[in-house]
Amino acid sequence: MPERLGSGTLRLSGGPWVSGWASSVGKKETEGPLGGLFDQCHTDDSLGQQSWEKAESLLLKEAAHLALRKAKVRPEEIDCVFAGDLLNQCAASVFGLRGLEIPFLGQYGACSTMAQTLAMAAVFVEAGAARRALAVTSSHFCSAERQFRLPLEYGGQRTPTAQWTATAAGALILSGDLPAGTSQGIAVRDVRFGQITDLGVHDAANMGAAMAPAACRTLCGYFADTGASPQDFDLILTGDLGAVGSDLLRGLMLREGWDIAPVQNDGGLMLFDRAAQDVHAGGSGCGCSASVLCAAVLPELAAGRMKDVLFVGTGALMSTTTSQQGESIPGVAHLVRLVSARREEGTK
């Protein structure tokens, strides 16, 4: 059973174990600093499909199937899938997972969706509501540009604070037990769901600024509930604040008495080489932090090179309609603590 700490952080104790994970990415992501670490790399962002939306669905499907294969689990052994993406009505998730026959729970947290789906899957497994659960998300530069901004053919200029939506998907499988014969693994230890936080940022080309206050709030609540401090962690991985949002978050945290600069990094900064790849403030999109987590963080935890990581997914909860109607951009941030852990004898 999850234990409630303080103002609402949930501490999990039955694992839950990350028993498989995978990432699938596009061309620009393959050419970036993490290019050698992804499970599946595409040189053609259309993936041979007739639309960008179909390409994104396939990317998400690939990540899910690869994670299943790596975990040596068949789809019918998964009790539910938590999935979401940026497309209207979560279409990439629906159409990507349509053939899997797993009970489907669509989630929407904008770019925080990987943290949200992972946290939901962990709570369900901890509670015994699922023996195994799948968490998966995606984004695609081309489907996002035309839905949220402008058709690609228009060739619009981007502002310096803008982020580049990653063409990427990531999938994780949570299990109630480690594989037979294994005593060491990656466990989800803590989960914290964030409140909607809106300080009135209106610039849809500066998502980092809109999301940083939500990340600050979630982190401060977590430190207060647990007595932990930034130096307890090998990495605080935010995703995806980019350069502008990361700077803001570090400053906001300093004002609250926490120096996270030595351990904070951001999925949007890790995925691309900002100097060489013309992504302005960095990467973004549900698939950005998802693929960075799967490619660059989970293997470090599995190998024991990292022991304790806070993953803070951040989302900007606007739509084109709300922005056109003059609304500000509400942010949200969900936190998941991942630890390299040994299963105690006699416990599951």
Q: Residue for token digits 């499907």? A: 61
6, 224 contact by CB (below 8 A): yes
57, 207 contact by CB (below 8 A): no
Select from 315, 318, 308 the least CA-distant residue to 288: 315
Scanning 26-34, 49-57, 157-165, 272-280 for contacts with a second copy by CB under 8 A, the matching segment is 49-57
The CB-of-299 to a second copy minimum distance in angstroms stands at 29
CA angle centred on 270, ends 45 and 332, rounded to 5°: 90
Q: Is residue 178 a contact point for a second copy (CB under 8 A)?
A: no
Residue choice 188, 317, 336, 341 for contact with a second copy (CB under 8 A): 317
Which of 131, 158 has the CB closer to a second copy?
131
Residue choice 6, 69, 88, 179 for contact with a second copy (CB under 8 A): 88
Which of 71, 123 has the CB closer to a second copy?
123
Which of 32, 176 has the CB closer to a second copy?
176
Residue choice 19, 23, 24, 107 for contact with a second copy (CB under 8 A): 107
Residue choice 180, 227, 275, 321 for contact with a second copy (CB under 8 A): 321
Residues 198-237 that bind a second copy (CB under 8 A): 198
Beta strands (DSSP E) in 228-343 are: 235-239, 264-266, 283-284, 308-316, 331-342
Q: In the beta sheet, which residues pair with residue 185?
A: 341
Q: Write each residue from 61 to 80 as x if it is in contact with a second copy (CB under 8 A), else as -, in one continuous string.
A: ------------------xx
Residues 111-170 that bind a second copy (CB under 8 A): 116, 120, 123-124, 126-129, 131, 147
Select from 48, 42, 79 the least CA-distant residue to 63: 42
Q: Residue for token digits 């497309």? A: 87
Which of 199, 276 has the CB closer to a second copy?
199
Residue choice 5, 37, 108, 261 for contact with a second copy (CB under 8 A): 108
DSSP 145-190: HHHHS--GGG-----TT--EE--EEEEEEEESSPPTT--EEEEEEE
Q: Residue for token digits 């060739």? A: 155
SS3 state of residue 138: strand
Q: Residue for token digits 């839950």? A: 16
Residue choice 15, 26, 32, 109 for contact with a second copy (CB under 8 A): 109
Residues 185-204 that bind a second copy (CB under 8 A): 192-196, 198
What is the C-alpha separation between 60 and 45, in angstroms, rounded? 13
Which of 197, 340 has the CB closer to a second copy?
197
The CB-of-271 to a second copy minimum distance in angstroms stands at 22
Give the C-alpha distances (Å, rounded to integers) separating 12 from 159, 194, 273: 42, 17, 36
Q: In the beta sheet, which residues pair with residue 238?
A: 266, 312
CA angle centred on 106, ends 289 and 139, rounded to 5°: 35
169, 179 contact by CB (below 8 A): no
Q: Write each residue from 2 to 41 as x if it is in contact with a second copy (CB under 8 A), else as -, in one continuous string.
A: xxx---x-x-------------------------------
Which of 51, 184 has the CB closer to a second copy?
51
What's the farthest any 2 CA atoms get from each other in the chain? Answer: 62
Which of 231, 324 has the CB closer to a second copy?
324
Q: Which residues bind a second copy (CB under 8 A)?
A: 1-4, 8, 10, 50-51, 53-54, 79-80, 84, 86-91, 94-95, 97-98, 100-110, 116, 120, 123-124, 126-129, 131, 147, 192-196, 198, 317-322, 325, 327, 330, 332
